[in-house]
Chain A
């Protein structure tokens, strides 16, 4: 038999254009039963579009040429009605964003049963029974997760299991998973990847898994394809691909994934930021009219210090209190007890942030798209922190400050006249760093600052951060869920769980020989590239 005959999905010389813009060029891929194909690429590489082309769920104005064979059907010659018969039945799909992938107004049981009812003429009751089985296979047993639950009553990981249950309810021959774990915490990610692998092995299903993260795919895939600008540049068995890869792009991608900037930390002994016994709790609305209001302890007695010039990592999963702690350090929220001081001065005085301290404290957020006002020019955006100063620089001094900040982050002073939409994600993050730099702060809080970036851009930003820290004597508090990034840029690391710091120490030491069970769990769950790369 030829490769084509054995395959569930064969894509041959697929080219795709949308409204005349070429998106894919001669893409060829194949997935056999029981096989896991990992497709890797940066944003815009066409990996998702390849998946959507296989399902024929393309945006308007899309034109495909080439050949897509899916479970014996020639996809490009099928009518839309015939495609509807295949989707959900022969091929299931799992998406990136579990929080929005489910209809908020329907119960999870109904949504899973709908897949079955779409394709088989059975009673609703029977469909519900089978939906229950599908949910159980996705590890949402009915006794703990009744089918009458609505999506908002589930966590992100649980919702992703519902999406998986919908996709596998009819035991399709092929499953397509588009960045299925990108929005999830590391331990949840590990569980979902394990679940997907188990389902593939049990059903002999083929799996096409798309990721921007080499390490996620390296662990589980049998075959790997690397895409760049709409082309497959490298293909091969996962076991050997990392040793044999030839294409310069693949090599660059691998190098960027493991990139660690050169750093020569100049740490002083004096403590810059001191966090002492900080407690922050939130009162939730009363459950009943007369019951006591519930209180959530987001941060419970956290203490730590950052020395001047140090880069401190803070890791933990969503809901662990990282963001609350960050807000407290920035003086955006009052804490119930404990004290936070920067250079000996409290960040919060009376009922408002201490402006004296806020000036020396800046922050860079995760989302380079949402954290800028699109109607302001870059010059105005980067000078926003000046409102903290009593006498901000004016005229020539101000222009010089803007030029200096932009130059420092590798942009040109001319860029100050542009609007934010004229920049790429990586450039925007540079502007965010310039905005943080402009008041010459002592401490910069980087809140998942490189999490939304492609690996190559991320490597560049990490280099930039390392360089700036040396040049300006900056101190960093680096908050991230990504252990490999934390390893490459921090000196010490704190591990936070349920509002408490459960472990802290030298980064290498904590990540190589974790002591606390939770840290061990995190380290074990973190996807890793093969050792011998």
Chain B
């Protein structure tokens, strides 16, 4: 188990280093000088040069890369070109929205997908199975921003149960904050839950046809007992993989939903930074997202080993 964890950790660090190089290089080769973008087309040549010096654009790329990386290791992500505030502070502010939203949406995803997937698998081929799987098909197909707007119409405008958008902040009490994240979380969770339910169902059906399920039935377990005691845990590996990918997506992929609900999240930050060519912010947020994805994968892999004893001892 220790060996397994160590190997995973090594690959985690290597992935981060590789990602940082790629992100830095990609931004290096992009056309467009941030200084001239920030100052506009009519800027004086000497003002531009001064800004370039201030931003460190006159240094060699290798030097800039090292400064960037060592800064990030110490929590210093630089200062935004456009907002003139520390990027670290901006990220922390945005994470207060995006992280709870992603976790909330993920929790909803799992809470919807597990029962639905298990239920459909245990009634394979029945009317219930077919109709539920039809619904998930629909859930994958419906664009979530459209569904979000529909919810705003029904629950915010007509019923007035929720506010149509915005985020109250955590200062007003967690309940209010959670309430303002509820509609966005549902909108984000709907397609994800549909996907996960389908994965859950097919993974369960695969394991239900395994020989050891027949063995369990020969011991006197009912179908239900065999499903809960033997099939479910065996079906978890593909399900965990998808959950990991979904979390990474929910953290960064909520741009459209954040826009629909006027939420100051990471997605909006990166969108604004890209349009303003605020490359320091783009670089840092992308790197942060890579870090999150790699960490989530690391945790998923640890979870694999927890689920499957065969992975604990690597032969």
Interface positions of A (Cβ within 8 A of B): 55, 57, 60, 80-81, 84-89, 92-93, 95, 97, 100-106, 114-115, 118-119, 150, 152, 163, 166-167, 284-285, 288-289
Contacts and interface: CB of A to CB of B under 8 A. Distances in A.
Nearest to B218: A93
Nearest to B213: A103
Nearest to B220: A88
B238 to A, nearest CB: 14
Given A100-B211, A284-B315, A105 B308 contact: yes
A123 B233 CA distance: 24
Interface residues of B, number: 26
Contact of B217 (A57, A100, A285): A57
Interface in B135-157: none
Interface of B: 3, 6, 125, 210-212, 214-222, 225, 229-230, 233-234, 307-310, 314-315
Contacts of A93: 215, 218
Nearest to A97: B211
A119 B233 CA distance: 23
A47 B233 CA distance: 33
Given A97-B211, A104-B212, 6 more contacts: A84-B221, A95-B214, A103-B212, A104-B310, A163-B215, A288-B3
A337 to B, nearest CB: 26
A104 B309 CA distance: 8
A285 B314 contact: yes
Nearest to A176: B218
A84 B234 contact: no
A80 B219 contact: no
B141 to A, nearest CB: 30
Given A100-B210, A118-B221, A285-B314, A95 B234 contact: no
A106 B234 CA distance: 10
Contacts of B125: 60
A87 B308 contact: no
Nearest to B207: A103
A97 B212 CA distance: 10
A85 B220 contact: yes
Contact of B215 (A89, A95, A118, A119): A95
A114 B215 CA distance: 11
A95 B218 CA distance: 10
Given A57-B217, A84-B221, A150 B309 contact: yes
23 contacts: A55-B218, A57-B217, A84-B221, A85-B220, A88-B218, A88-B220, A92-B218, A97-B211, A100-B211, A100-B212, A101-B215, A104-B234, A104-B308, A104-B309, A105-B233, A105-B234, A106-B230, A114-B221, A118-B221, A150-B309, A150-B310, A166-B219, A167-B218
Contacts of A89: 220
A98 to B, nearest CB: 9
